[in-house]
Homo-oligomer: A and B are copies of this chain.
C-alpha cells in the first residue's frame, strides 16, 4: 500500500487528486499547501476531493508526520523543485509538476538528492498517457516511418482571461518553453529516445501586458543526434474563439513514412498509402501508473532520468532563447534512463 501525500493544488494537481480513489494500491496520508497562506482557499476544495484526511499548514510537517511513500508536488512552478527536493531528502518518491525545476542549479541538486536517497522521481509528462501519443510511440517504435529525420511539433493554447499571479514574472513562472514547450520536448524525448543534440530558440512577450514574464510565442530549432532536425513552437496565441483550449500537433517525417498527430487523430503515410491509425487506450494516468509501479514494480513509461532530462532540455532551450546563442544538449548528466 502506497501512502500518498498531496502538496499544492496548481497545474496538473487534479490528476492525482481525482484518481487516488480509483486505485487499491494507494491511501491518502494527507495534504498541505506549498505555502501556508494558500491553505485557506484550498482546504474546502481538498476536502471535497479527498474527504476527511489530515490537512497540514505546511508541507514539511505533512511529510514528517505522515512519512508518505509518495508525494505529489504541484504548486507555483518556482516552488516545485524546492518541495520535491525536501520530499526526496525525506525518503519519499515524488510525482512532481513539470518542469521539475525552473533552474538548472536546483535540477542538479534535486537529482543528487534523488539518486542518493534511492527514491524515484517522475513528472507530469501527460502525453505518455494520451491515446494519440501512445499510438504514435508504438508506430514509430515499430519502424512504420523508418529513421525519423524531420519533426514539427506545436503546442498552442488559449491564454484565457487570467492566470495565477506567479505567471507574471519569469522568476515565479519559469518561462513558456519550460511550462508549455516542455510537453513537445517530451514528445520528442519519448518517441525518438532522447534525440537532442543542440538547440537554437527565440521567444517573446508580445500580447500579454499584465504578464510581462510570460512569453506568448516561442520557437525552437533542435539539431538531432542523427543529423535530423526538429522545429518546435509553443504559444498562447490561440484565439478565444477557437473550438478547443489547445491545438497539439506533431509531424515526424522519416526515411520510410510520415506520421502525424492532429485534431486528436494519428495518421500515417507510407509507400502503401495514407491511413488513420486506431488509437491505443491507456491503462493508467501518470499518477495511477506511478503508484502501481511503486506498489507492484510494474512498468512506468518514464525512466528514472526522463523527467530530469526533459526539464534540462527545456531550461537549456529557454537559455538559448534568452541569449540568442545555440546551446549544446549532448553530454547530459541526465541521459541514462
Q: Is B228 in contact with A204, judged by CB distance below 8 angstroms? A: yes
- Among the stretches A15-23, A65-73, A264-272, the one at the interface with B is A264-272
Does A243 reach chain B (CB closer than 8 Å)? yes
Q: Is A271 in contact with B239, judged by CB distance below 8 angstroms? A: yes
Q: Mark out the residues of chain A between 233 and 281 whose CB falls within 8 Å of any chain B CB in the assembled complex.
A: 233, 235, 237-243, 251, 253-258, 269-274
Q: Is A221 in contact with B238, judged by CB distance below 8 angstroms? A: no
Main secondary structure of the interface of A (DSSP, over half): strand
A150-B233 CB under 8 A given contacts A221-B202, A223-B202, A239-B258: yes
Q: Is A217 in contact with B274, judged by CB distance below 8 angstroms? A: no
Q: What is the count of identical protomers in the complex? A: 2
Does A54 reach chain B (CB closer than 8 Å)? no
Q: Mark out the residues of chain A between 290 and 328 whose CB falls within 8 Å of any chain B CB in the assembled complex.
A: 324, 326
User: Shortest Cβ distance from A255 into chain B, in angstroms?
Assistant: 5
CB-CB under 8 A from A156, the residues of chain B are 253, 258
CB-CB under 8 A from A149, the residues of chain B are 204, 206-207, 216-217, 235, 237
CB-CB under 8 A from A38, the residues of chain B are none
Instruction: Report how far A173 CA is from B251 CA in the complex, Å.
Output: 27
Q: Hey, what's the 0/1 contact readout for A187-202 against B, CB within 8 Å counting as 1? A: 0000000000000111
Q: Is A239 in contact with B269, judged by CB distance below 8 angstroms? A: yes
Does A154 reach chain B (CB closer than 8 Å)? yes
Does A50 reach chain B (CB closer than 8 Å)? no
CB-CB under 8 A from A152, the residues of chain B are 152, 154, 231, 233
User: Shortest Cβ distance from A196 into chain B, in angstroms?
Assistant: 13
Q: Is B206 in contact with A274, judged by CB distance below 8 angstroms? A: no
Instruction: Report how far A147 CA is from B251 CA in the complex, Å.
Output: 26
Q: Mark out the residues of chain A between 114 and 153 whose CB falls within 8 Å of any chain B CB in the assembled complex.
A: 147, 149-150, 152
CB-CB under 8 A from A150, the residues of chain B are 217, 219, 233, 235, 237
Instruction: Report how far A251 CA is from B155 CA in the complex, Å.
Output: 13
Q: Is B237 in contact with A273, judged by CB distance below 8 angstroms? A: no
Instruction: Report how far A200 CA is from B219 CA in the complex, Å.
Output: 12
CB-CB under 8 A from A229, the residues of chain B are 202-204, 217-219, 233
User: Shortest Cβ distance from A283 into chain B, in angstroms?
Assistant: 32
Q: Which 7 pairs, one residue from A and one from B, show the smallest C-beta to C-beta distance?
A: A219-B229, A221-B221, A237-B253, A231-B231, A241-B273, A150-B217, A202-B229
Pairs A–B under 8 Å by Cβ, sample size 7: A150-B237, A204-B229, A206-B228, A217-B228, A241-B269, A241-B272, A241-B274
